[in-house]
Chains A and B, each alone.
Chain A
């Protein structure tokens, strides 16, 4: 990951939601999406993250990636707190249908139902899905 410096941008604060839908490996969306989240936080925006569908695999504990020659970037999610990104939601249905519980995740999250996430989406200014 690159180092991100606090930006000088002097504008309104908006509510940004990043919706992570895809597995961490297989495509680059999760890795490059995480970079956008960190940059948005550096702009002092009101950022939240949602993990749905296979996106919940991104924050699964005990990832072992040497066999696929990819960097295990799951520790980077633990750095989010340092960027004041603390609103992290996981869709209950996605988590349970994959046989996971909160204990299987690398970061503390709030587990919400699909309907609750839908309500949260209504309250955002900007929603970007990766």
Chain B
């Protein structure tokens, strides 16, 4: 099955991004295809490479970057939501790209399921 993933909350405050990551990883391991992961609302903060949690905590940003590196998952950050929150190309962690909301709609069209992780 082809999944589109929508992440609507930032890292650490909400579990949404962690759950989305676990779901995405499990789907890939089961042989499913991830059309792309789209980050919206405060979800854009998942792409901030300056995130530096304590060493005994998981680094959500790095988990996503590693997933992109290992499996070529497309990580798209909404440009309008990112600009509002001060996220630009200089701040992007590895594997993330900034693009438009059309990428979310297209994920809904191409995918068999669009799965939202939010509040």
Q: Do A and B originate from a single complex?
A: yes
List chain A positions with a Cβ less than 8 A from chain B: 2, 7, 9, 11-12, 14, 16, 28-29, 32, 35-36, 39-40, 42-43, 45, 125-126, 128-130
A35 and B109 form a contact (CB under 8 A): no
The listed residue (A16, A29, A125, A126) touching B41 by CB distance below 8 A is A29
20 contacts across the A-B interface (CB closer than 8 A)? A2-B80, A9-B102, A11-B106, A11-B110, A12-B109, A29-B41, A32-B40, A32-B41, A36-B104, A39-B104, A40-B105, A42-B102, A43-B102, A43-B105, A43-B109, A45-B105, A45-B109, A126-B108, A128-B114, A130-B8
Contact B102 A39 (CB under 8 A): yes
Bound together, the chains give a CA A36 to CA B80 distance in angstroms of: 11
Contacts of B102 in A (CB 8 A): 7, 9, 39, 42-43
